[in-house]
Structure 1
């Protein structure tokens, strides 16, 4: 199980004092508080300032999110960061959006699936919010009053013919439809480490999708390819099995900001 980070700061001295350290982080639930809807989530001015200072001190600050990359860029608004969206299927570099080629061929199928889901009566549970992210399609049920909403949605999706060649994934009060191209936060993390020749790395996240990155970092660390620590931000929505793959934990977004400030001292 992960250790309390703020009680084990000595472990992180080797990152704090090395300007070649890279910091890779999720957004929602990590840099910003979880909001009722994606559009309501914001970064505080103080968090933005800390991220800017981190980017000036360390080798790299990368933001890896399930949001579309343009949305991530707009939400954070700091030049010089590496922005990755849709769980690694797209990223922004030098002001240009790059989409992984093997995902593009699934766009027609994704559009067909999105139309079918939105038209399906059993998917239109009160409180459900649909979010078309281009390469992914998300169904948010955080605002649903019916406690069986998740079960109803999953049962409906698993029986849809239009989804048989696509992936159904889950996160915090969200179900996502994705191309079966094998992209996740673990794969993009490995790509970032390899392409940028990173030797020291901190990864922060709070959701099921971040577990892929935790596991990949553990794998690369055991192989001697990178020195890293994975940090999970706890909440009542985080399944216990995900915690097992992280090395340390923080208990809130405020704790994340305080940790970042410690790195800057």
Structure 2
């Protein structure tokens, strides 16, 4: 069972001021408060300043997001950190962009599926936001008058759509996403980062069911003695209870995340 982080900071003292410590974090709901639409999200200057300090003080800072890598960098606005976008299908490092080579063959199919859903007569229209992220396509239904009804209708259309059957369909906080059936989940990305960078100590922060794979992998690698890792979940009423059981600690808000960053940056 997860504990409230600020009642157990002593358990993270081993990470504080250790140059080998690595911070990996999601963006929306973790570094920025959940916004009505993706373009309204904001990373506050105080959060950005603390991330700069963490980057300067510790081994690695990585941002792991469902946003495109370029959009993640634009939103966070901190140079010198690793941006992993579209759930691992692309990443930016030192100004260079990398795309999973298997992805390109599915790009037209992803767009075709999104276009077909959008034109479907039973697809909800009011409040639905369609987001083309280049590699993936996101359907946001947070602003729908009846979000759960919209959610079920969109999934039903996808289920019956031939051009979507070979694609990957995932869900997050009031979002359905169409992806190529290749690439990595956040847990596989976590392990890849560990192996390629000889990581030893990791703190991972997230807020969504898309972070579940990362939390699970972190615990698995820790239990095997491969790394020392701790997962921190930003809780909300939009995530399943089981996700809280998969982490070591929880916090209540993005403001708590900022408070933690200030703590880990302090002497």
Task: Tell me if TM exceeds 0.5.
Answer: yes
- Shift, 1:109, TM fit: 1.3
Determine the C-alpha separation between the residues in 2 that align with 1:122 and 1:253: 37
- Displaced runs of 4+ in structure 1, greater than 3 A? none
- For structure 2, the residue ranges without an aligned partner over 5 or more in a row are none
Aligned residues: 265
Indicate the SS of the match to 1:22: strand
- Separation in 1, partners of 2:182, 2:243: 23
Indicate the SS of the match to 2:125.
coil
Structure-1-length-normalised TM-score: 0.97
How far apart, CA to CA, are the structure 2 residues paired with 1:36 and 1:2?
Answer: 29
The answer for the alignment partner of 2:45 in structure 1 is 45
Deviations 1:15-35 (A, max 9, x none): 003111000000000000000
Aligned to 2:24: 24
Return the alpha-carbon distance in structure 1 between the equivalents of residues 33 and 216 of structure 2.
24
Mean alpha-carbon deviation: is it higher for 200-209 or for 145-154?
145-154
Q: Secondary structure at the match of 1:224?
A: coil
- In the superposition, the TM-score normalised over structure 2's length comes to 0.97
1:108, distance to aligned residue in structure 2 (A): 2.0
Alignment of 1:143-158 (within 5 A): 143-146=143-146, 147-158=148-159
* 1:64 corresponds to 2:64: yes
Work out whether 1:208 is the aligned partner of 2:215.
Answer: no
- Cα deviations across residues 110-147 of structure 1 (Å, max 9, x unaligned)? 12212212222322431000001111110000000124
Q: CA RMSD in A?
A: 1.0
Structure 1 residue 69: deviation in Å? 0.4
Structure 1: state its 5+ residue gaps: none
Say if 2:94 is the partner of 1:91: no
Structure 2 SS opposite 1:122: coil
**What are the Cα deviations for residues 91-113 of structure 1, in whole angstroms up to 9, with x where unaligned?**
00121110111222211211221
- After superposition, residues 226-265 of structure 1 pair within 5 angstroms as 226-265=227-266
